[in-house]
Amino acid sequence: MNTQEALEKAEAILKDLALSFTCPEENRLDAVIKADDLKKAVEALLVTNRWGYLSALTGLDNPEYEVDEDTREKVAVEGKGSLEVLYHFAAGAAITTLRVSLPYDAAEIDSICDLVPAATLYEREAMELFGICFKGTPSTEHLVLPDCWPNGVYPLRKTFKGLNEKAQG
């Protein structure tokens, strides 16, 4: 199966679960999925249809911005906007990404570790760096950040300004 056929197959598999599809590049298909449909989509791709494998899980911070009156620069507003979890699946050169948007005040999603055990590393990284809660993930221990890292401080959120001296220990 060539790349285009693989992407067409992925789109057919996900058509009843996706809110929308885009093709940002010729070898990519992005599907916007509701959080409640994520596990169904992963199961449809990997378990039922054996389409590819999980190649990565990434987080994306989409804050609301306001303009700082003194500097005239755009500044991310704390607590406003959304976080996105992107589940990237590969089948040869074809990449299908499931995009799930979560509000800041409810950044929770079900873990997919029961379907893809190796996802635990990606989920732990996103928990630490973005503050996304993966319900049912088998481990919540620190993976990337030191154990002394303060709770509630997420270094890949656009509102992160660094640690003050007190927080650094």
Mean pLDDT of 135-148: 93
Q: Which amino acid is at 106?
A: A
Predicted local distance difference test score (pLDDT) of residue 119:
97
Q: What is the DSSP letter of 138?
A: S
Is residue 47 helix, strand or coil?
helix
**What are the backbone dihedrals phi and psi of residue 44, each rounded to the nearest 5 degrees, phi first?**
-60, -45
Predicted local distance difference test score (pLDDT) of residue 157:
92
8 A C-beta contact, residue 55 and residue 119 = no
From the list 52, 16, 53, the residue with the least C-alpha distance to 31 is: 16
- Summarize pLDDT for 31-89 with one digit per residue, the tens: 999 999 999 999 999 999 999 999 999 999 998 888 888 888 888 887 788 999 999 99
Predicted local distance difference test score (pLDDT) of residue 67:
87
Predicted local distance difference test score (pLDDT) of residue 165:
52
Q: Which residues contact 74 (CB under 8 A, 6 or more apart)?
A: 65, 66, 67, 68
Domain boundaries, the chain: 3-168
- Summarize pLDDT for 97-122 with one digit per residue, the tens: 999 999 988 999 999 999 999 999 99
Is residue 5 helix, strand or coil?
helix
Tokens read off for 159: 């509102």
Predicted local distance difference test score (pLDDT) of residue 78:
78
Work out whether strand 28-33 and strand 94-103 pair parallel, antiparallel, or are unpaired. Answer: parallel
Tell me how far apart the alpha carbons of residues 62 and 41 are, in angstroms, rounded to a whole number.
23
From the list 158, 151, 159, the residue with the least C-alpha distance to 133 is: 151
3-168: what fold?
A: Beta Polymerase; domain 2 (3.30.460)
- Summarize pLDDT for 13-28 with one digit per residue, the tens: 999 999 999 999 999 9
The answer, yes or no, to whether residue 168 has pLDDT greater than 70, is no
Tell me how far apart the alpha carbons of residues 10 and 51 are, in angstroms, rounded to a whole number.
7
